[in-house]
Amino acid sequence: MSILDVKQLTRSFGGLTAVSHVDLTLDQGELVGLIGPNGAGKTTVFNLLTGVYPPSSGTIVFSAHGQTTSIGGKAPYAICRAGIGRTFQNIRLFKELTVLENVMIAFQQNQRYPLPTSLLRLPGFGRAEDEIRDGARELLEVMHLGHKAEEYAVNLSYGEQRHLEIARALATRPTLLLLDEPAAGMNPTETANLTRLITQIRQDFGLTILLIEHDMSLVMQICERIYVLDHGIVIASGTPDEVRSDPKVIEAYLGEEVDHA
Ligand SMILES: Nc1ncnc2c1ncn2[C@@H]1O[C@H](COP(=O)(O)OP(=O)(O)OP(=O)(O)O)[C@@H](O)[C@H]1O
């Protein structure tokens, strides 16, 4: 069953067409890669899927919790509530807050207790806050950051900050998780750990994952299917083996890199 159905998605910025007539489908539970050279339009696709920009044209249909919704052009908070969570290429944490507070804030984004309860700090609010704190601690354990809960986010290593970003995304309770270059800046050991964690959270949280990544060893190892973008156009899609042997992909992106993947 498909949970995301993107048809003819197009976005222009002035005279530049960053994403052009992209068709993309994700089935429930899949782990799919979105790869391509710098400036190919990958992050713009994520920004369109999460409401940062409205599409110039095309449709995005998302199905979760028994509901099918057209989300193209909807506000980011509405899309987040519908069940799409994401991380950012440029890490966006509250660096002056603790690791735990960072995750608690993300939880609160999707919390549904009534405003008066929260403003007046009525008993229901206390209970809700305890639940959020417990949930946030659990997510930190999952992301191997439990021992850093009280640390300020600014003091985390780069790799740990990327883990925290994923914990924050999970806190919004997504059914579809979009990861934008989660391994960027990581060393090979950190990347290997992350590779295992991504497959683990997919299984444990019943997620569907769309992943932008330049580390081809990670992509080829864990993605079941891959879309390749170049100049805003999907030039190939298929299994890792199909994609890595496609002459168009080798010419546009992989080149010599394919031998090392
Ligand atoms: N808000 C914007 N205004 C103008 N141009 C933009 C905007 N966002 C993206 N672009 C342009 O759209 C094109 C695609 O950018 P995008 O960031 O989506 O590429 P990418 O594939 O994610 O690249 P990278 O791998 O380097 O992150 C680029 O030419 C970029 O400069």
CATH number, domain of 21, equals 3.40.50.300
* Top mutation candidate among 10, 44, 45, 216 for ligand 1, by most atoms within 8 Å of CB: 44
Residue 88 lies in a domain: no
Cα–ligand 1 centroid distance for 18 (angstroms): 6
Residue 144 and residue 244 share a domain: no
Ligand 1 geometric centre to CA of 86 (Å): 17
Instruction: Tell whether ligand 1 has an atom less than 6 A from the beta carbon of residue 244.
Output: no
Average pLDDT value for residue range 201-221: 96
Q: Are residues 99 and 139 in the same domain?
A: yes
Q: Does residue 39 fall inside a structural domain?
A: yes
User: Which pLDDT belongs to residue 130?
Assistant: 83
Percent of residues, the chain, with pLDDT higher than 70: 91
From its phi and psi, is residue 208 left (phi > 0), alpha (psi between -120 and 50) or beta?
Answer: beta
Among 22, 42, 214, say which to mutate for ligand 1: greatest number of ligand atoms within 8 Å of CB. Answer: 42
Query: Could you tell me which of 145, 177, 138 has the C-alpha nearest to residue 163?
Result: 145
In a domain, residue 68? The reply is yes
217 has pLDDT over 80: yes
Q: What is the pLDDT of residues 90-146, one digit of tens each?
A: 888 898 999 999 999 998 876 654 555 555 555 555 667 888 899 999 999 999 999
Last residue of a domain, one of 171, 188, 208: 171
Q: Are residues 189 and 64 located together in one domain of the fold?
A: yes
Pick the residue with more confidence: 260 or 28? 28
Look up the ipTM and state it.
Answer: 0.97
Whether residue 98 is found in the same domain as residue 67: no
Q: Whose CA is nearest to atom 25 of ligand 1?
A: 38
CA distance 254 to 261: 9
- Model confidence band, residue 247 (pLDDT cutoffs 50, 70, 90): very high
Among 16-30, 60-74, 124-138, 160-174, the least confident range: 124-138
Q: How many domains does the chain have?
A: 2
pLDDT value, residue 258: 47
Distance from first CA to last CA of the chain, Å, rounded? 30
pLDDT of res. 178: 98
Domain boundary among 142, 171, 200: 171
Where does a domain end: 119, 138, 171?
171
CA of 42 to the centre of ligand 1 (A): 8
pLDDT digits (tens, 9 = 90+) for 31-80: 999 999 999 999 999 999 999 999 999 999 999 988 999 999 999 999 99
Question: What mean pLDDT comes out for the span 176-189?
Answer: 94
**Same domain for 135 and 163?**
yes
Q: Kindly list the strands in the beta sheet with 176-180, ordered across the sheet, starting from the edge strand earlier in the chain.
A: 84-86, 176-180, 208-212, 31-35, 225-230, 233-238
Mean pLDDT of 162-179: 96
22 lines ligand 1 (CB under 6 A): no
Report the nearest atom of ligand 1 relative to the CA of 232.
Answer: 14
Share of the chain above pLDDT 90, in %: 80
Residue 259 and residue 182 share a domain: yes
Residue 34 lies in a domain: yes
| Shared domain check, 123 and 54 | no
Does 44 sit in the ligand 1 pocket, CB within 6 Å? Answer: yes
pLDDT, residue 260, reads 46
Indicate whether 137 belongs to any domain: yes
Domain that holds residue 124: 93-171
Q: Are residues 260 and 161 in the same domain?
A: no
